[in-house]
Amino acid sequence: MRSSLKFVSWKDRKEVARDLKTIYTAKTEEDAQLALTKFNDIWGGQKYPHILQSWLNNWNELATFFKYPKFIQTLIYTTNPIESLNANIKKK
């Protein structure tokens, strides 16, 4: 997500993040691929083609995510916010 949102304008950031979330929260890999296609229809054209290309280039690694049970998937994609919170606590 961080690398995908790195170059997204602030006005589009929430919408792009919401649409990307539909990919990694999909129930199956096939649903995720459909969500990725829908993302491409909305954002992949001329506005943010590099995001789609990044996801496609790394799809084999990303698809492994869908082989885990849902509760493990949730742990995987919520790890970064937890790490961020811990880093902020350590700073203060």
For the record, the structure tokens of 68 come out as 């885990």
Q: How confident is the model at residue 80 (pLDDT cuts 50, 70, 90)?
A: low
Yes or no: say if 4 and 18 are a contact pair by the CB < 8 Å rule. Answer: no
Cβ of 45: how many Cβ atoms within 10 Å? 10
Q: Which amino acid is at 62?
A: L
Q: What is the pLDDT of residue 44?
A: 79
Q: What is the pLDDT of residue 78?
A: 66
Lowest mean pLDDT among 8-17, 42-51, 73-82: 73-82
The pTM of the whole model exceeds 0.75: no
